[in-house]
Chain A
Amino acid sequence: MAFRTSALMLPHQVGSGVNWRGQALKLSSKATWAVRSSSSCPSGTVTVGYAQAQERPSSVIRKIREDLENRERSAVNVMEDYLVRLRDREPQVQSFLHISEKALEEAKLLDEKIAQKATIGPLAGVPIAVKDNLCTKDMPSTGGSKILEGYRPPYDATAVRKLREGGAIIVGKTNMDEFGMGSTTEGSAYKVTANPWDVSRVPGGSSGGSAAAVAARQCAGALGSDTGGSIRQPASFCGVVGLKPTYGRVSRSGLMAYASSLDVVGCFGSSVEDVAILLQSIAGHDNSDSTSSTKDVPSFVETLKPVQNFSSKPLAGVKFGLIKETLEDGVDSSVVFAIRSAAQHLESLGAEVIEVELPKFSLGLPAYYVLAASEASSNLSRYDGARYGNRADAQELIPMYGNSRAQGLGAEVKRRILMGTYALSAGYYDAFYKRAQQVRRIIQTDLEVVLSKVDVLLSPVAPTVAYKIGEKTDDPLSMYAGDLMTVNVNLAGLPALVLPCGLAEGGPCGLPVGLQMVGKSFDEGELLRLGHIFEQTAPHWCQNVPPLVQ
């Protein structure tokens, strides 16, 4: 696919900071990020901050659909391909807690339907992975916890049901931090998932398994959940696209609740278009969820135009606000650089990028943790060994509760339950929970105000790129610190899209950095439209396949 102008990025231009139209970017020649050449990187390419221009990300889901319709591949072919890849990479990545035994069979059934010329859904034959805190009727759903080991729900989560109604085939359940609490997936009671970009590093969390599975091409897309950044941060760490919808856009019915007023179900894909297709499928009001919105679901996919139809300044008239507080000391310089470069790219597309200040920004972190821990302490009370899951042996009721929970729940979960119990206790409610809700109101208002002045906010997703496995397990607070850039979005219930926007030094071939775009309430459509334009024109399309994947 050629550009309209002859601004094709040539290999020698990489590293010189040239945008998609061949215009020079103002970058320091003293760019400190490494230039590395490694034989472990595919095709002997040289990676700098910008990867070799391979090809633009494109919709895997659309391709599967086209292949099926053209009879170029059968559903079984597609599924076999994926399953082979899945099994092949699984020993290193460990993204899955459960792999479906029925995937191939479902593909066969689909082929029969196609042969009979029956109507097939928009996601027919597409292999999707589902985070293990979303209930699936025919597969165990553990929430990453031992207390639900082997638990099989008697119903499907609404988001899962909608995917299935669309024809998707669930290939398996992905690993996660227990009940969504954590930012590395090391909090899983079962296994540690590795980042496909560097298997000694974390994939992020809590939806680490889903992000890694998509990054490692073990599936075409995945569902995750985001309470304080649990989709966006792994998307950033794994170099995939992640979408956190507006609170209420997707039904929470069937999502094991962590913090009810903050949880959302969202999705991962290897391109913005894929994420748009997935969102289209799962969004919408659900009678089973009283907090789901009755707002109309627009067409998210229709607004994504092919790159050749872009005007020369496709982002003209769009105003972005770069959040100043997210680019200050304490944030990795490579992350800052990637974000600022992304900002410049947006400008080259005709957008206006200004810096915005949110002085109370960092208040969001303690407020978030008070609210999340409090709601979690309540939502997790049902895990007591009485009606399902693992029950500890005991002669009396209270020890049964106490031991079932002590043995079945992990350290971080227990800590948060205790902290939440504290914050809600008589005498402390006003000082902690109520106050946190008031701070939440302040942050909501601030974000509303700033989003009346700009269309979309920009920031990094995390202060760093993926860190080493084991690095942050000892100190909860230092782990919480990494959520600074994501929690305010949950407090305000806004939608956010994460796009890969560069590689930083580290790992065999660099480590992904994600750009976070935060939009107005229920304006996922606009986010996706802008994100799509960014992605399709970015001069630094990541070699969006990590070295693990050949």
Chain B
Amino acid sequence: MMASSSSSAALLAHARLLPRRLPPLSPFVRPCSASSASSSSTRQVEPPNLAQLCDKARISLSAKEIEEFSPQISKVVDWFAQLQDVDVENIEPAIRVGALDGKSALRADTPVIFEERETMIASLPDREGPYMRVPKILKENVE
């Protein structure tokens, strides 16, 4: 799919706006850091403990999936680690974009009955009378 770099260079050379030669655009390579030589030493990231993550996220992966996902996830996490090299001193984290109008986001304390309550209850996968039913909870899993 990618055209050869020589033809793209030629193309671009002819276009009105000439680009400078720049390093290849690849998300896998750390972008703007000057010290492109240094690498993994600045980002010692432990490979994720997949079994632990599966437990936290309540996903029972099959052995095959674990085998398949482990390297994929490690690779992505390693890629995430390039963020460590960015200078973020004095940068305030951005939870979201822009400020929200807090006042308009307050709701008056007036009760409203949800009219489709029956539909919702009817689509519970397992019920017992008015209750929702779930399988038994082991003592060690009580919150």
- Asked if A and B touch directly (CB within 8 angstroms), the answer is yes
Report if A336-B60 is in contact (Cβ < 8 Å); known contacts: A400-B134, A477-B28. no
- B:10-39 near A, CB below 8 Å: 10-12, 14-17, 19, 22-28, 31-32
B3 touches A332 (CB 8 A): yes
A442–B91 CA distance with the chains assembled, in angstroms: 8
Residues of B contacting A327 in the complex (Cβ-Cβ under 8 angstroms): 12, 19
Residues of A contacting B124 in the complex (Cβ-Cβ under 8 angstroms): 387-388
Q: Does A58 contact B (CB under 8 A)?
A: no
Q: Does A122 contact B (CB under 8 A)?
A: no
Q: Does A318 contact B (CB under 8 A)?
A: no
Q: Pick from A152, A425, A435, A491: contact of B86, CB below 8 A.
A: A435
Q: Does A322 contact B (CB under 8 A)?
A: yes
Quote the shortest CB–CB distance from B135 to chain A (angstroms): 5
- A:407-446 near B, CB below 8 Å: 409, 411, 414-415, 417-419, 421-423, 425, 431-432, 434-442, 444
A405 touches B58 (CB 8 A): yes
Residues of B contacting A418 in the complex (Cβ-Cβ under 8 angstroms): 48, 50, 53-54, 57, 59, 69, 73
B125 touches A389 (CB 8 A): yes
A402 touches B58 (CB 8 A): yes
A405–B80 CA distance with the chains assembled, in angstroms: 25
Interface centre among A290, A332, A467, A480 (most CB of B within 10 A): A290
Residues of B contacting A134 in the complex (Cβ-Cβ under 8 angstroms): none
A360–B31 CA distance with the chains assembled, in angstroms: 7
B2 touches A399 (CB 8 A): no
Quote the shortest CB–CB distance from B113 to chain A (angstroms): 13
Q: What's the tally of chain B residues with a CB closer than 8 Å to chain A?
A: 78
- B:45-73 near A, CB below 8 Å: 48, 50, 53-54, 56-62, 65, 68-69, 72-73
A492–B77 CA distance with the chains assembled, in angstroms: 23
A481 touches B26 (CB 8 A): yes
Is chain B's interface secondary structure helix, strand, loop, or mixed overall? loop
- A:312-346 near B, CB below 8 Å: 322, 324-325, 327-334, 336-337, 340, 343-344
A517–B141 CA distance with the chains assembled, in angstroms: 51
Q: Does A120 contact B (CB under 8 A)?
A: no
B84 touches A437 (CB 8 A): no
Q: Does B119 contact A (CB under 8 A)?
A: yes
Report if A467-B136 is in contact (Cβ < 8 Å); known contacts: A336-B8, A405-B58, A492-B97. no
A422 touches B83 (CB 8 A): no
A477 touches B58 (CB 8 A): no
Q: Which residues of A contact B (CB under 8 A)?
A: 26-28, 30-32, 137, 151-152, 154-155, 247-248, 261, 285, 287, 290-291, 293-294, 322, 324-325, 327-334, 336-337, 340, 343-344, 353, 355, 359-363, 365-367, 369-370, 377, 381, 384-391, 394-403, 405-406, 409, 411, 414-415, 417-419, 421-423, 425, 431-432, 434-442, 444, 463-465, 467, 475-477, 480-481, 484, 491-493, 521
